[in-house]
Structure 1
Amino acid sequence: MSSIQNADTSRSTSIFTLFSAQLLPATLMLGGGVVLYAVECYITATIAPSVVRDIGGLELFSWMTTLFVAAGVLGSISVATRPRGIGLRTVYIVAALIFGAGNLICAVAPTIEIVLAGRAVQGFGAGMLGALGYTFIRFVYPEPLWRKASTLYAAIWGVATVLGPTLGGLFSQGSAWREAFIILVPLAGLMALSAPWLLPRVEDDRAQQKTPFLQIALLLGAVLLVSLAGTTGNMSSKIILVAISVASVSAMLTVERKSASRLLPQGAVMLSKPISRLYLTMFTMMLVLTSDIYIPYFLQTLHGVAPLVSGYLVALVALGWTFAAFFSAPFSGKRANAAIIVGCILEAVATASLIPFLARDNPSGDLVVLGPAVVAMFLMGFGVGLGWAHLVTKVIGLVATAEQDRASAAISTVQSLGGAFGSSFAGVIVNGAGLADPGGVPGGLSAATWLYALMALPGLVAIAMSLTLKRASA
C-alpha cells in the first residue's frame, strides 16, 4: 500500500491539498495521463483535414477517430484485465510508452494507413492512462480526498474540449500536423521514466479470474460499429450499424450476467444493484451531453454566428462542467446526493430548452434570442460537472477491494461508450430530420428541434437513476 496515503489531511480536505508537497508528484502524473487522453481526443479532430490534404486518404478519414475511440476503450479495459502480478505503476509505464510510440508512428507516417495504425496504438495507450487516473485514486490519496481527485479529473475533461481544438489549430497548416504528434513523444517518455519515482508501488489486490475475452470482443465490436455509424453518410447504413451495435452491447451484458469471468464489477449488469445504476447514470449523462457536437453548425446556420465565435460559444459547455466540478467539490453526504440529482435535472432541462432557444431562425444573431441558448449550453455542462465527481467516488467506494480496479477502469469505458453512442445517435437524428436534405435553414430548424427533443429523453433515465442512489455509499 502507498506511503502517500499517510499524508496528513486532517487539517484540510480542500482540492488544493492534492497539490501539497507530498501529493503533488502523483497528482501531476495521474492528472497528466488524463490530460493526454482528453486533449488528444480533440486535437486530432482539428488537424485531421490537414493530414488527408497532405498525404491523401480522404476515404479513410473517419477511421482516424473510430480507431482511436475503439482502442481507447480496449486500453481502459486492459487496466483491469491485465495479467495477475503486474502492478499499476508498471501499467502506467507501459501505457506512457505505448502512447508515445503511437504518436511517433503518426508523426513519421508516409501514408494514411500508417497514420491509422499509429492512431490505434496511440488510442490504446491513452485509454490506459485515462483509466489509471481513476484506478490509482484509492492508492494515492486518503479517502477524504477521493472526491477531490475525481473533481480534478472531471475538470480536466472539461478544459480539454477547449484546449484540444486550440492546440490542434496551431498545427493545422500544411505538414505542421506532424509536429502535433511529435511534441508529445518526449513528454510520454518523461512520464514513463518518472513513474517509478513519482508513483507509489502498490500490491495487485484483484481477485484471480480468467480474462473475459467474449465480453471484450462484443464490447469492442459495438464501439467500432457505433463509431463507424457516426461517420457514414448513408442513413440506412447508420441505422443498421447502430442497431447491430446495440445488439452487441445487449449480448455482452447477457454474457456478463451469466459468466464466471467478468469484465465489470459484480452487480454492474443488474439494475437492482446500486453499482449498475451508477454506471447507467454516467452513461446517459455523457450520451445527452454529446448532442453539443451540432451546436456550432446550428449557431452558424440559424443565428448567423461566425465559425470562430461559434467554437468559443460551444466551449461554454466545457466551462460549465469545469466550474460546476469545483463548485460541488466540497459537498458530501446528502449534499453530494443532491448535487447528482440536481445535475441530472439541469442537464436534461437545459438540453430540452435548446428546442425553443437554439432552433430559431435568427440570421441577425439577435442577443435577446441567442442569449438564452448560450445560458442553456453552459447549464448542460454545469449539470454534468455538478454530479460527476460524486458518481465516481460512489463507484470506487461501493465495491469490494478485489473489484476496485475493475470498477475504476470501467468509469473511463462507460464515459467513452456514452460519447460514442451519443454522437452516433445524434447523427442518425439530424440526418433523418433534414440536416442535409432539405438542408439550409429549414433543415437546420427541423434537425435542431428533433435532436434536442430526442436527446433530452435519456436525461430522464439519468434523473430516474439518480433518485435511487441516495443510499449508495459515498
Structure 2
Amino acid sequence: MSDTVEGRWAEIFGPRYLAVTTILALGVSLFAFNAFLSSTALPSAVQELGGLEVISWATTLYLVFAIVGGAAAAMLKRRLGSRRALLSLAGVFLIGTLVAAIATDMSQVLVGRAIQGFGEGVVAALCFALIPELFPSRLVPKVFGMQAMVWAVAAFGGPAGAGALTELISWRAAFLINVPLVLIFGAMVLAVVPRGDTPPQAHGFPGLRLLTIGGGTMLVALAAIVPPVQAAALLVGAIVALCAAVWLDRRSAERLMPLDAFSLRSAVGAGLWMFLLMPIAGAATGVYLVLLLQQLWGYGPTHAAVIGAVMAIGWSLSSVTVANVRQRSTRRILIRTGPVMLALGLVGVLGGLQMAQPGLVIVAQLAIGMGFGISNGYTMLTIMEASSDAERDRTSALLPTTQSAGNALGAALAGVAANAAGYAAATDTGAILAAIVPLFILAMAFAGLAFLAALRMVQLAKVTPISAFASE
C-alpha cells in the first residue's frame, strides 16, 4: 500500500491494531508515569525511612539506568526476540517496583529505582522498535501522536495520581500501582507479539560499552549538583565517555547502535543529533520555569505547575493535529519549523519573565510544545525510513534513549549556566532576572544547532533512497 494513502485514527484503535496500540501505550505510560513519580511519592517515603540527602538520586538512578537499558534494547531484541525481551524486562521492572515498594530504608528504594529504570528503559525502547514492524508507515504518525498524548496525560496525571495514592493510602501504593499494569502488559504481549525465532548468541556481552554509556550519563547527572567549575569538568568527561562509547560501538562485532549513529553524513545521524539537541534546548524551561514563577511572581506550586504543563498540552495537541500530513514536502517543512518554534518560544518565555507578562509566557510555552509536537513524529519517521532494514531495530530503539540523554544533558547544562551566572545566590527579582539570561541564551543556541541538524537531515533524506518501509 502506498504511503500516500491516508491513515485514519480509527485504524490504530480498530480491531486489527487495538491490542498492539494498547501494548505500546502501556509501555510508554509506565516509563512516563515513573519518570514523574518521585516528585510526589518519595517525599513521603523520606519522612518514613529517612535519607533526605539522597532523594534526588531516586530520579537520577532511574534515568541513568533507563538510558543504559535503552542502549542495550536492540541487542536484547536480537538475542531474545521481541516477545521474550519484552516479557523478561517487564519482569525486571516488576522486581524493581517490588524492591522499592517494600523497602525498609532509602538505599533499598534507590536499588529498586535503578532496577526499574533498566527494565523500563529496555521496554520503552523495544516499543519504539516494534512500531515499524507492526504498523504500516501511513499509520506511524498516528502512533507517535498517540504516544505524545500518553506523555501529556502522564505529565498531568502522573504527579496527581501518585500524590492521591500517597495521601489516601501510602507512598508504597504509588509504586505498587505498577504491578497490575505490568501484568496486563505481559498478558497482552503473550497474546499479540509473535514468538519468533531467537538468533544464536554469537558474541559476548557489550559490558564495556554499556559501562561507558552509564558512566558518561552518571557524570552528566553529577554535573547538575556540583559547583560550576567542577560541573564543567564533569561535562567534558561525560562528552568524552559518550563519544568513546559511540566509537567503540562502531568497531564492535555486535553493535548497540546503527553504524551511522550521530554521523552528519547520513540522515539517520543528523536526525539523531536533532533528537538530542532539542531536549537539551527545552530543558531551560523544563527545569527552571516552575521555580521561577514561584520566585518572581509568588505563584503557588499548583499554579506554577499548570503553566509549566502548558508545554505538554501544546506538544500533544500539535502532534495529533499534524498526524494527517501526507506530503513529504510538508513533513520536511514541519521538521525544519520545529526547532524554530522552540527557539521563538524560549525568546518568548524569557521576554515574558523579564516584562512580567504571564500571557506571553503561556503563549511561548505553547510554542515550545508545538515545536516538539510538529517535528518529533516526522523526525522519527524520517530516521526510520532512512535506516536500512538491517539497522532499523538499532535505530528505532535508540530514539527514546537519545531523547532521555538529551533531557539529562540539558538539565545538567542548564544548571551549570544558571549557577555560573549567580542564580543560586540571587536573592532579589533583578538578580534572578539577570542570572537567567545566560541560561536562555544557551538554550536558544542549542535550538539553533537543532535547526542546522534538521536542515542536514532533510537534505540527506532527499537524496538517500528510502527503504522498503516507505512502500508498505
TM-score by length of 1: 0.91
Asked whether the equivalents of residues 84 and 208 of structure 1 are also in contact (C-alpha less than 8 Å), the reply is: no
Which residue of structure 1 lines up, in the alignment, with residue 313 of structure 2?
A: 319
SS at match of 2:16: coil
**Counterpart position of 1:462:** 450
Residue identity matched to 1:396: M
Of 198-207 and 395-404, deviating more is: 198-207
Structure 1 residues 465 and 61 mapped into 2: Cα distance closer, same or farther (>3 Å)?
A: same
Note closer, same or farther for the CA distance 1:429–1:174 as it changes in structure 2 (3 Å cut): farther
Letter of the structure 2 residue corresponding to residue 296 of structure 1: V
Q: Which residue of the partner structure matches residue 437 of structure 2?
A: 449
List per-residue Cα deviations over 1:287-327 (Å, max 9, x = no partner). 11122221011111112322211100100011111011101
Paired residue for 1:357? 352
Task: Confirm whether residue 132 of structure 1 aligns to residue 126 of structure 2.
Answer: yes
Task: Tell me which residue corresponds to 1:346.
Answer: 341
Q: How many angstroms does 1:76 deviate by?
A: 1.3
Q: How far did 1:260 drift?
A: 4.4
User: Alpha-carbon deviations, 1:354-397, whole Å to 9, x = none?
Assistant: 2222234x4xxxxxx21111100111111011110111112222
For the 8 Å contact 1:51–1:175, the answer to whether it is kept is: no
CA positional deviation for 1:257: 4.2
Structure 1: tracts of 5 or more residues without a match: 1-5, 363-368
Number of the residue aligned with 1:105? 99
- Residue 296 of structure 1, aligned match among 282, 285, 290: 290
Alpha-carbon distance between aligned partners in 2 of 1:398 and 1:224, rounded to the nearest angstrom: 31
Preserved contact between residue 134 and residue 409 of structure 1 (Cα < 8 Å): yes
When the two chains are superposed, the root-mean-square deviation of aligned CA atoms in Å is 2.4
Pick from 150, 155, 170: which aligns with 2:149?
155
For residues 19 and 201 of structure 1, the distance between their equivalents in structure 2, rounded to whole angstroms, comes to 23
Paired position in structure 2 for 1:331: 325
Alpha-carbon shift at residue 412 of structure 1 (Å): 1.2
Equivalent residues of 1:296, 1:311 under 8 A apart: yes
Paired position in structure 2 for 1:365: none
Q: CA deviation at 1:87?
A: 1.2
User: Residue 406 of structure 1: which of 384, 391, 394 is its match?
Assistant: 394
Give, in whole Å, the separation in 1 of the partners of 2:246 and 2:310: 35
Number of matched residues? 460
2:283–2:410: 8 Å Cα contact kept in structure 1? yes
Distance 1:357 1:206 in 2: 58
Other-structure match for 1:439: 427
**Which residue is equivalent to 2:69?**
75
Equivalent runs, 1:391-402 vs 2, <5 Å: 391-402=379-390
CA change 1:177–1:116 in 2 (3 A) is same
Cα pair 2:6 2:138 within 8 Å, conserved: no
Match of 2:85 in 1: 91
> Does 2:260 correspond to 1:267?
yes
The AA in structure 1 aligned to 2:437 is T
Amino acid at match of 2:124: G
| Equivalent-residue separation in structure 1 for 2:108 and 2:230 (angstroms) | 27
C-alpha contact (below 8 Å) 1:54/1:174 kept by paired residues? no
Using the TM superposition, give the Cα deviation of residue 235 of structure 1 relative to its aligned residue in structure 2, in angstroms: 3.3
In structure 2, how many angstroms separate the alpha carbons of the residues matched to 1:52 and 1:438? 29
Q: Distance in 2 between matches of 1:428 and 1:236?
A: 8
Q: Tell me the SS of whatever aligns to 1:329.
A: helix
1:414-425 → structure 2 map (5 Å cutoff): 414-425=402-413
CA distance in 2, matches of 1:132, 1:255: 23
Contact 1:274 1:469 in 2 (8 A): yes
Q: Which residue of 2 aligns with 1:276?
A: 269
Q: Does the CA contact (< 8 Å) of 2:65 and 2:117 recur in 1? A: yes
Letter in 2 for 1:51: A
The corresponding residue for 1:24 is 18
SS in 2 for 1:20: coil
**Contact 1:101 1:185 (C-alpha < 8 Å) held by counterparts:** no
* 1: CA distance, partners of 2:304 / 2:200: 47
Contact 1:328 1:387 in 2 (8 A): no
Deviations 1:88-127 (A, max 9, x none): 0111111222212111111110000110110011111111
SS in structure 1 at match of 2:324:
coil
The separation in 1 between residues aligned to 2:237 and 2:43, in whole angstroms, is: 29
Residue 467 of structure 1 aligns to a residue whose secondary structure is helix
Counterpart CA distance in 1 for 2:245 and 2:5 is 46
The 2-side partners of 1:207 and 1:115 are apart by: 34
For the residues of structure 2 that align with 1:467 and 1:216, how far apart are their CA atoms? 31
Kept after mapping to 2: 8 A contact 1:76/1:413:
yes
Q: Is the 8 A contact 1:235 1:431 kept in 2?
A: yes
One-letter identity of the residue aligned with 2:281: V
Residue type at the aligned position of 1:145: L
Identify the residue that residue 197 of structure 1 maps to in structure 2.
191
- How much has 1:179 moved relative to structure 2? 0.6
Match of 1:228 among 222, 240, 261: 222
For residue 325 of structure 2, give the secondary structure of its aligned residue in structure 1: coil
State the distance in 2 between where 1:12 and 1:68 align: 39
CA distance in 2, matches of 1:40, 1:68: 9
Instruction: Give the superposition deviation at 1:74.
Output: 1.7
CA distance in 2, matches of 1:463, 1:172: 42
Structure 1 counterpart of 2:375, which letter?
G
1:248 aligns with 2:241: yes
Q: Taking structure 2 as the reference length, what is the TM-score of the superposition?
A: 0.91
Aligned to 2:416: 428
Moved more, 452-461 or 464-473: 464-473
Contact 1:105 1:114 in 2 (8 A): yes
**Aligned mates of 2:151, 2:280 — CA distance in 1:** 15
1: CA distance, partners of 2:200 / 2:374: 31
* Identity among equivalent pairs (%): 28
Cα deviation per residue 1:328-376 (whole Å; 9 max; x = unaligned)?
A: 111231111111111111001211232222234x4xxxxxx21111100
Deviation at 1:18, TM superposition (A): 0.5
Q: Deviation of residue 427 (structure 1)?
A: 0.9
- Paired with 1:202 and 1:291, the residues of 2 have a C-alpha distance of 44
CA distance in 2, matches of 1:206, 1:167: 43
2:201 & 2:447 partners in 1: Cα distance?
35
Compared with structure 1, are the counterparts of its residues 357 and 206 closer, same or farther at alpha carbon in structure 2 (3 Å cutoff)? farther
Stretch deviating more after TM superposition (60-69 or 159-168) = 159-168
